[in-house]
Structure 1
């Protein structure tokens, strides 16, 4: 286990956000995950769109997991300022 693997264990590498405003007919999701691709490159994979749809996706390549996690944190802060909140899954009965 190298230093990068240890950091990935200590910090969350996946985040799911939602923005729901019924009065504005706004039901959006934004998901981010930091992972390695098949070639070992660190990536920040983002998906976004209307809840209930597949949405769109984008993959940003980074030199290190720290850089990818910094990007995730920066984007999360921007989304939270725009009204997104962490999605909490309801337990299934």
Structure 2
């Protein structure tokens, strides 16, 4: 048979704060804060600089994404436009494609698209660059 006092103590454990639970029989003693973080060993194979086996891409520090600066100038139509594309890494291993556009001499507008894989962001950059070049945008020197 079960001890009714023991059952009462078990139900009391749920409502007591952590500091008073240590005195209950069968409850584990409190751990010191310096021992809490030493329970798990650090695995250096999970480093952020390592090549990811899932996406099979280069580490973020090895990926070089040059920004693309495009201009379209047509004095007959009073058109002076710019378009800038940049890929930047995110904190979680993905990449963001940042687009800036507007009239030359003004700040213009910007838009940011986030991708899970840096390769997807690079593909989107190439696709948008190709589209703009078809519309008579030229790279700046």
- Using the size of structure 2 for normalisation, the TM-score is 0.56
TM-fit CA distance, 1:14: 1.1
Corresponding residue number in structure 1 for 2:78: 25
Counting matched residue pairs gives: 85
Corresponding residue number in structure 2 for 1:45: 98
Higher strand share: 1
Distance 2:83 2:132 in 1: 8
Bigger radius of gyration among the two: 2
Corresponding residue number in structure 1 for 2:3: none
Deviating runs (4+, > 6 A) in structure 1?
none
Structure 1 unaligned spans of 5+: 89-93
Provide the aligned C-alpha RMSD in A: 1.5
Structure 2 unaligned spans of 5+: 1-48, 52-57
Paired residues for 1:1-93 under 5 Å = 1=49, 2=51, 3-5=58-60, 6=62, 8-9=63-64, 12-88=65-141
Higher normalized contact order (CA 8 Å, seq sep 6+, divided by chain length): 1
Distance 2:106 2:93 in 1: 30
